[in-house]
Amino acid sequence: MLTAGVDKGQGVVIMINANNSHMMGRIVDFIADYHHWDGFPVKTKPTAADADSKTLRAFV
């Protein structure tokens, strides 16, 4: 995957040995956020939620 901008000359090339396009998008989002690239929306970071043990047992 190649993402680049001509205005500032910044870009990223990602090569992974998997068919996980979702992961590649997350990597680009992280790099864009870290370097404050224009044109990439600011995404909110996930937060942990509290759950009691009874609720968690429903997922086992």
pLDDT digits (tens, 9 = 90+) for 19-39: 767 788 888 888 888 888 888
Sequence-ordered alpha helix ranges (H) in the chain: 21-34, 53-57
d(CA 52, CA 46): 19
pTM summary value: 0.57
pLDDT at 6 over 80: no
Q: What is the pLDDT of residue 20?
A: 66
Q: How confident is the model at residue 4 (pLDDT cuts 50, 70, 90)?
A: confident
Residue for token pair 């690239």: 37
